[in-house]
Amino acid sequence: MGKQNWRKLGLLLAPDGQLSWARTHVAVPVAVPLDSQRYRVFVTGRDSEGRSNIGHFELNFTSDPPSAGPLSDLPALSPGQLGCFDDRGAMSSWVVTHQGRQLHYYTGCNLGVTVPFYFSIGLAVSDDGGKTLKRFSQGPILGRSSVDPILTASACVLLENEIWRMWYVSAAKWVSATPRAKHYYHIRYAESQDGISWRPTGKICVDFRDAKEYAISRPCVLHENGLYRMWFSHRGASYRIGYAESSDGLEWERHDDYVGLDVSASGWDSEMIEYPFVFRRGQRLYMLYNGNGYGATGVGLAVLDES
């Protein structure tokens, strides 16, 4: 599709330390429309112990530029039961509205000993538009297996022709390093008949570009006019936003140079930009994204200026 011209609309919301579930961070945004003017945006906050919780705020397009309401007083989903895959945190990932119910795919975290953490993909459901979420089960719907032996995370899910398609993060390896082991993960593909029981294929959709790159995360896929477009985070020295295209959702070509969005000269997103969520509102594409500190400085909005 060629070079993209993303125009930053500014910082929407930053954590103020007042809410117990979001003392720090407003990370990994996911927008769900409420009506033509308003979106409920799910985000991940961290409590005083560093555990992840999913809450939300309202994004309103009646103002120019669009504005954000306050974070919800309470989280919609908190860490799971002790010993479960998400006992250290639940992180927002993707939402599919199907048959009147919201399916929230999220990343569950628990801590390791030989490696710092483990991730798995969980599912929560909502029958009230996302105000409250209920776990589908206490176990993950896509966890470690013979195909993904190390970790799974950050699901992006599309329902097409009665086939549920998932692009997600899978770890290739951990490498011993100081002060702690270093993770290497990229983006793979899975399918399902019902959105619950998943078959990981082992297909690598977006792989490391060079030896310096070690983390490719948070895929966001749009399928329009016969073309699959994916925005994602990639990290060497620090996170940037990458881009790839595909005709079938399986074979992808990276075109990171197409992304006309980079760090600012100063301020909340001057060190890194990551965790893109791209959505269409009318004729325009918007992108929610995070800046410095993996969401510690808040979430911002950009719009694609198309000629």
pLDDT tens-digit readout, 232-247: 999 999 999 999 999 9
Residue 119 domain flag: yes
Write out the residue range of the structural domain in which residue 55 sits. 6-304
Residue 146 domain flag: yes
d(CA 88, CA 255): 35
Element (H, E) at 199: strand 198-206
Condensed to tens digits (0 to 9), the pLDDT of residues 142-199 reads: 999 999 999 999 999 999 999 999 999 999 999 999 889 999 999 999 999 999 999 9
Residue 259 domain flag: yes
DSSP letters for 101-156: EEEEEEEEEEE-SSSSEEEEEEEEEESSTTSS-EES-SS-SB---SSSSS-EEEEE
Residue 42 domain flag: yes
The pLDDT of residue 79 is 98
In this prediction the pTM is 0.97
Residue 1 domain flag: no
Question: Above pLDDT 90, what percent of the chain?
Answer: 96
Closest CA to 75 of 101, 54, 59: 54
Digits of tens for pLDDT over the chain (307 positions)? 689 999 999 999 999 999 999 999 999 999 999 999 999 999 999 999 999 999 999 999 999 999 999 999 999 999 999 999 999 999 999 999 999 999 999 999 999 999 999 999 999 999 998 988 999 999 999 999 999 999 999 999 999 999 999 999 999 999 999 889 999 999 999 999 999 999 999 999 999 999 999 999 999 999 999 999 999 999 999 999 999 999 999 999 999 999 999 999 999 999 999 999 999 999 999 999 999 999 999 999 999 998 6
The pLDDT of residue 307 is 62
Query: Is residue 68 a contact partner of residue 9, using CB atoms and an 8 Å limit?
Result: no
Domain with residue 73: its CATH number is 2.115.10.20
The three-class DSSP label of residue 22 is helix
The pLDDT of residue 131 is 87
The tally of domains found in the chain comes to 1
> Distances in Å between the alpha carbon of 272 and those of 11, 171, 220, 294?
14, 22, 18, 8
Q: Could you tell me which residues are beta bridge partners of residue 25? A: none
Residue 24 domain flag: yes
